[in-house]
Amino acid sequence: MPLPAVNLEWPPPSTKEPRKLYDRWQAWYSGDPEQLARVHADVPGLGGDSDIPRGQPGVGARFVNALLQGRPRAFWGTPVTPGQVRSHKLHVPLAGDIASTSADVLYGEPPTFEVPDAKTTGKATQDRLDDIAEEANLAAVLLESGETGSAYGGSYLRVSWDPVLADCPLWDVIPPDCAVPEWRGGRLHAVTLWRDLESPDGRHWRHLERHEQGRVLHGLYASADEGKLGRRLKLVDHDATAPFALIVDPEDGQTVTTGASGLACEYVPNMRPNRLLRGSALGRSDYAGIEPMLDSLDEAWTSWLRDLRLGKGRLVVPRAYTMSRGRGRGTTFDPEREVFEAVDAIDNGDGPLKMSVVQFAIRVEEHSRTCREITAEAVRGAGYSAQTFGQNDEVAATATEVNARQGRTASTRGKKQLYARGPLARLARATLEIDAAKFGRKPGVNPELRPAVRWQDGVPFDIEATARTLQMIKAAEAASIYRRVQMLNPDWDDKEIRADVERIKAEAGGGPVVPPGSSATGHGPDEPAPDGDPADVEPDDDGPENDDARPPSVGGRASR
């Protein structure tokens, strides 16, 4: 469908409820106290209710008070105390840490894009895709996508091209609060991205970019009403959209063909389902459900620092001890003065006037324990283990113990990978297609191949536990040399495993140690073994062709 040509309400009403959630999650993600106070002043709580009369007689006032007593309380929603010079509320950036950690857990070891038959017929395609990934800095883009998705519940990844900037397609991240998605069967069918432009005449200018299969539509709008889309203008009427006027179809003035069979923009959900928007295909933020814990953590931290302020020793000084600054100019007291002269004072029967010290207790342990417990609950609610955030790490642990402690984090990482795998694979194929269409097809490159997305194991490799397991398997004669090498190196192919088997047998038989890249029979690991070769001696298990599936790794990812 084309871009809107009439003066519609913008953003569309269909995005109203998601944008409310995005505003709240954005406030926690940014950590800006002003945003937190503004957002929570508009939600149920004490915030925004300071203008409602309380304690006044009358049925209406009692009814209002009863309503307020039943409404939940938000620390960031409470107004500043009348007469207070400034707010002493403090914010702990735990929400930002959760988003950053989520990106590290998911994309800290970036996934690889592997085309079919990457070592044979697909080698040229694989090499080109690797070059694009390096030139476009996909590892950094994916980290940004992971952090944005953790905060907002998902993010959009867009493929674009600009021959002036790079000789290959580029990826960038679009936050979901400036997108209008359209779904079909739970998958993104089309999406309209929009951005506000600098206004040259006082009107509200917007650029709309609609992604459909195989094409992108651009539109420029200006309106005197911020809530309306306004009138459709030519792309050359604004400097920000003038470059698109050179590449759009001259007949309709809005369409750019991408050369891809699918979308050049994909939505990567953080986690589903969205518990606050039933039936929605939008993802769920890591903050969903833990906002009260984040609010309580800030309240506990503020109370701790309040104890520090109140804990400063203060002197209650009789007025007779103060020094006059002259008639009508008040009196002062020097707290650093160590010696005071005797003063004449009237004894009221309670003894002479005295200075007294007032100093409140600083409840360090109580506040520290409270903050730790709230943080642990908030992290758990976000789907992560406390160990991931550095808690419970006082005692050194083995890799096996670390894996057990971070089980919740590993489970969450696996779920997010499931949701990200499909969109990333489709976008990688679109990247190859756009690269061939806009930069010319390279020799041997097949853009129609759909790459597969592979993640690293992500679990610390415990070589000691793996060695014990393999030793017990060998003693029980439960697996051949080939199978044990395969279990230790699950990412090796058949030829690499056979070559290592030959080296192990040569060393065990007292023969010369065979260096990597060669074999005991003189042929390399990439060459087929001749008939009767020692690599085929084990008839009970002579290769993966006799198995239905390759067994999983024993101790996680192993390096070659």
Across the chain, mean pLDDT equals 80
Cα→Cα distances 311→304, 338, 369, Å: 10, 22, 19
Q: Inform me whether the pLDDT recorded for 525 exceeds 70.
A: no
Helix, strand or coil, per DSSP, at residue 93: coil
Q: Give the Cα separation of 162 and 439 in Å (integer).
A: 10
* pLDDT value of residue 73: 66
Q: Which residue has the tokens 């990106």?
A: 103
Q: Is the torsion defined by CA of 413, 419, 421, 424 positive or negative?
A: negative
Task: Calculate ∠ Cα 553-556-560, nearest 5°.
Answer: 85
Question: Which sign, positive or negative, has the C-alpha torsion 271, 275, 280, 286?
Answer: negative
Q: Quote the pLDDT of residue 362.
A: 85
Q: What is the DSSP letter of 229?
A: -
Residue 104: pLDDT band (50, 70, 90) is very high
235 Cβ contact list (under 8 Å, min separation 6): 218, 219, 220, 241, 242, 244, 245, 248, 253, 254
Q: pLDDT digit string (tens) for 137-155?
A: 999 999 999 999 999 999 9
How far apart (Å, rounded) are the C-alpha atoms in residues 139 and 142?
5
pLDDT for 345? 52
Q: The tokens of 545 are what?
A: 């062709």
- Distance, CA of 95 to CA of 327 (rounded, Å): 56
d(CA 501, CA 503): 5
Q: How would residue 545 be classed by pLDDT, with cut points 50, 70 and 90?
A: very low
* pTM metric for this prediction: 0.74
Q: In whole angstroms, what is the distance from residue 323 CA to residue 332 CA?
A: 5
pLDDT given at position 312: 73
Confidence (pLDDT) at 42: 57
SS3 50: coil
Mean pLDDT lowest among 220-229, 286-295, 385-394: 385-394
| Residue 173 near residue 148, CB atoms below 8 Å | yes
Mean pLDDT for the stretch of residues 337-344: 48
pLDDT for res 52 = 42
**H or E stretch including 159?**
strand 154-160
pLDDT at 254 over 60: yes
Average pLDDT over residues 461-474: 77
Q: Specify the pLDDT at position 539.
A: 40
Q: Give the Cα separation of 47 and 41 in Å (integer).
A: 4
| HEC profile of 415-467 | HHHHHHHHHHHHHHHHHHHHHHHHHCCCCCCCCCCCCEEECCCCCCCCHHHHH
- pLDDT over threshold 60, residue 72: no
Counts for the chain of helices (H) and strands (E), in that order: 13, 15
**Residue at 449: amino acid letter:** L
pLDDT > 50? residue 341: no
What six digits make up the tokens of 252? Answer: 């309709």
For residues 400-419, average pLDDT = 78
Over residues 511-539, mean pLDDT: 46
Structural tokens at position 416: 């997010």
Q: What is the pLDDT of residue 326?
A: 66
Q: Is the pLDDT of residue 285 over 50?
A: yes
Residue with tokens 């933020």: 285
Enter the tokens of residue 191: 């999406």
Q: Is 365 helix (H, G, I), strand (E, B) or coil?
A: helix
Q: How many CB atoms lie within 10 A of CB 514?
A: 19
The reported pLDDT for the residue numbered 405 is 58
CB contact at 8 A, 103 and 143: yes
Q: What pLDDT score does 536 carry?
A: 43
The confidence band for 470, taking pLDDT boundaries of 50, 70 and 90, is confident
pLDDT of residue 530: 44
